[in-house]
Structure 1
Amino acid sequence: MDDLIAETGVALRTLTMPSFMDNIAQRVGTIKENAMFFSPIDGDLELPSCATRDIASIEVRWLLDDTWSGQEDVAVLTGEHLLQQDGRDHVRSAWEAGTLPADVVRRL
């Protein structure tokens, strides 16, 4: 779809994202039933990640900036590369701090 829009020649910024930390919500059932989650990705592999709030922050910046023109892909990178094993610790910390998104908590 982005390519079709770009072909029109309009000014366009396309956000490109790595793995969403928020995708942990897809694993709520396993977390609830087993107190753990699983991933096909090796736990020792570091991957770039971002949260939906990171995406929103960058999107707002571009929407409010009227000085750009042309077309460009904009990478949403937080600078944080997480080991898959670290995901467990982030979920635990968010749960203990009460900062898990409400829709995730309702599913738990």
Structure 2
Amino acid sequence: MLDTNNYMSWRDGHFPVIDSGEKTVHELRQEQLPTSKVAKAFTHIQAPRLFSAARPAGDPKRFALSVSSDYPEAVEIVTRLYDQFGFDTVDNSPLSESWRTAPGQPAWVRHAW
């Protein structure tokens, strides 16, 4: 399951387990969907940029998008999808590390182009 959500307490309400840093929103989603293989993907790019920023493989201006999952096979699926869209992949697994590309983090700010 591709989780494209970014937790915003002002919009989503407060979840103490997330606010305290005990879990990421994506770890919580994995718990809510135990039979799914959750992958955080497409969370730091706006839909229009999927087309304007896409580049062919090998292009020195090609951007990389991040993916986080507790399942390597989910990361592989997202990696193939990103490549089809024209992006490289940075594997930011497991889901407990997905906070690194959350709003306000350096990886998020880098993609605010």
Q: What TM-score, normalized by structure 1, do the two folds share?
A: 0.34
- Which structure shows the bigger proportion of residues in strand conformation? 1
Q: Larger radius of gyration, structure 1 or 2? A: 1
**TM-score (norm: length of structure 2):** 0.33
